[in-house]
Amino acid sequence: MRRKLLLGNWKMNKTPSEAKAFASEIKPLAKEAKSHKIDIGVCVPAVDLEGVKKILKKSMIVGAENVHYLPSGAYTGEVSIPMLKDLGINVSLVGHSERREYDNETSEKCNLKILALLENDMIPVYCCGESLETYEAGKTKAFVKEQIVTGLKDVKKEDASKIVIAYEPIWSIGTGKNASKEIAEDVCKYIRKIIRELYDTKTANRVRILYGGSVKPNNIKDYLSEKDVDGALVGGASLKADSFQELLRNIE
């Protein structure tokens, strides 16, 4: 059985001091999550990683929001896998829609990152999702399939189940316009079908698929009640301790 996963994405929020204060506040939630067999964690800005990791240690997942696929080089402003590993970080988001939109992060580039992370025994959280224009044109599944097939190119079967996939319809991120639980389930189920076609049923049944897009305490239970939705990647609702706690308790 796949364990539920609640993962916060802070985006460009919280200074190092704010991040450490927040980490101290949410640390007690780790025990509560464990008792209900739920994995919980946060993906935070690079400047916050060291301080948050020191406080949360192994009690919660602490992930990066981005990583480069090369171990070093003349890439000003980038963060490498060895840098993350030196801090004890073993999870990174890949291909979030905001990076695709603002930083020209293509599925081909995401593929390089996924392969590099897996090579270094790290977990990619691979984001996919369509724009409102694509959704309204009825091309969601074709669009998402391209992202999954390209992103997972050359990923070995034994590594595929280590990847977490997050379906985030762009038209529902930070807009307050929610995809229904039926839409979320339909696309997550389709993603699992793609994994099955690429690998096999056993692999597809092991991959955790998250939903993200205006997930809040009052709707998370509905989303996670669906068969193929294994958790949530949450933005704004993960930035306040009481809201993060409520998200967790509403999964339980």
Matching residue, tokens 């205006």: 214
Those residues whose C-beta lies under 8 Å from the C-beta of residue 176, and which sit 6 or more positions away, are 214
Cα separation, 97 vs 147, whole angstroms: 11
Cα separation, 77 vs 166, whole angstroms: 25
Catalytic residue among 68, 96, 98, 185: 96
Cα separation, 193 vs 67, whole angstroms: 28
Yes or no: say if 114 and 124 are a contact pair by the CB < 8 Å rule: yes
Q: Which residues of 231-242 are buried (b: 16+ CB within 10 A; e: fewer)?
A: bbbbbbbbbebe
The rounded Cα 76 to chain-centroid distance in angstroms is 25
Catalytic residue among 65, 105, 130, 168: 168
22: left (phi over 0), alpha (psi -120 to 50) or beta: alpha
149: how many CB neighbours lie within 10 A of its CB?
Answer: 14
Q: Does residue 96 carry a catalytic annotation? A: yes
Residues assigned a catalytic role = 96, 168
